[in-house]
Amino acid sequence: MMERFDKLNAVVMPLDRSNVDTDAIIPKQYLKSVKRTGFGPTLFDDWRYLDPGEPGMDHGQRRVNPDFVLNDPRYQGARILLARKNFGCGSSREHAVWALTDYGFRVVIAPSFADIFFGNSFKNGLLPVVLDEAIVDRLFEEVQAHPGYTLTVDLEAQVVTTPSGESFPFEVEPFRRHCLLNGLDDIGLTLQHADEIRAYEARRRAEAPWLFDAGPRA
């Protein structure tokens, strides 16, 4: 079941790059797993470690890259990721979201997100928050200027609040917000409309029978 999200106050980690792709968030070799869990130690693997990683390794024994922000002691315990535009572009791999949540992130703030990543996030209790580029620029300055900088993200009120009390409203589609606030399983919700799906199928079968005889034909 999806973890619900309502409000969070947490340390913010800045990732100052545009177009962070899902290959960077979780490299391909870890996609061979048949599980949804255990991706946290390999989040941003190529940037985070100095040695190559493979599935099944003890990642705690690897050489960490001290210059990568995830390894900076001041951002330990961060649960909010501050990012640049087009975050999550590239592959549809949901493993990217699983890696972020498994590491502990619950919110990503960016000026824009890639569509598939954006949708995948909501399915896993990770809230993607879109704020204006100018606001994101300012947040980058603040988080870099103030060690231990936190933000409060309130999904119910749809607002991000800074330690000084300044607040920035954000948009969320009502349906997604509802599902996330309540931790709802959307398959269960959809199946409540099973009759409508069947009615659609009956209508469609009359219009386009070839779509309902889908196997190979002699």
Partner 1 sequence: MTGKTLYDKLWDAHVVRREEDGTALLYIDRHLVHEVTSPQAFEGLRLAGRKPWRTDTVVAVPDHNVPTKDRDQGVADPVARTQLETLQENVNTFGITFFPMGDVRQGIVHVIGPEQGATLPGMTVVCGDSHTSTHGAFGALSMGIGTSEVEHVLATQCLLQKKMKNMRVSVDGHVGPGVTAKDIVLAIIGRIGTAGGTGCAIEFAGEAIRDLSMEGRMTVCNMAIEAGARAGMVAVDDTTIEYVKDRPFAPKGEDWERAVAAWRELQSDADAVFDHEVHIDAADIVPQVTWGTSPEMVVPVTDRVPDPAAAGDPVKARGMERALEYMGLQAGMPVTDIRLDKVFIGSCTNARLEDLRAAARVVEGRRVAEHIKLAMVVPGSGLVKQQAEREGLDRIFRDAGFEWRDPGCSMCLAMNADRLEPGERCASTSNRNFEGRQGLGGRTHLVSPAMAAAAAVAGHFVDVRTL
**Contacts with partner 1, residue ranges (CB under 8 A):** 16-19, 21, 23-24, 27-29, 31-36, 46, 52, 55-56, 84-86, 89-94, 97, 112, 114-116, 119-120, 123-124, 173-176, 185-187, 190-191, 193-194, 196-197, 200-201, 204, 207-217
Q: Is residue 89 a contact partner of residue 19, using CB atoms and an 8 Å limit?
A: yes
Cα torsion 137, 9, 13, 86 to 10°: value is -60
Q: How far is the CB of 188 from partner 1 (least distance, A)?
A: 8
Whichever of 163 and 191 has its CB closer to partner 1, that residue is 191
Whichever of 91 and 162 has its CB closer to partner 1, that residue is 91
Q: How far is the CB of 152 from partner 1 (least distance, A)?
A: 25
Q: How far is the CB of 90 from partner 1 (least distance, A)?
A: 6
Q: Name 102's Cβ contacts closer than 8 Å, sequence gap at least 6.
A: 37, 38, 39, 40, 43
Whichever of 166 and 197 has its CB closer to partner 1, that residue is 197
Whichever of 164 and 194 has its CB closer to partner 1, that residue is 194
What is each CA distance from 197 to 47, 82, 125, 127, in whole angstroms?
A: 45, 40, 27, 29
For residue 13, list its beta bridge partners.
81
**Residue 33 backbone phi and psi in degrees, to 5:** -65, 145
Q: How far is the CB of 78 from partner 1 (least distance, A)?
A: 21
Residue 169 and residue 158: Cα distance in Å, rounded?
Answer: 6
Whichever of 110 and 153 has its CB closer to partner 1, that residue is 110
What is each CA distance from 74 to 42, 48, 83, 148, 166, in whole angstroms?
A: 20, 15, 17, 7, 23
Q: How far is the CB of 81 from partner 1 (least distance, A)?
A: 17
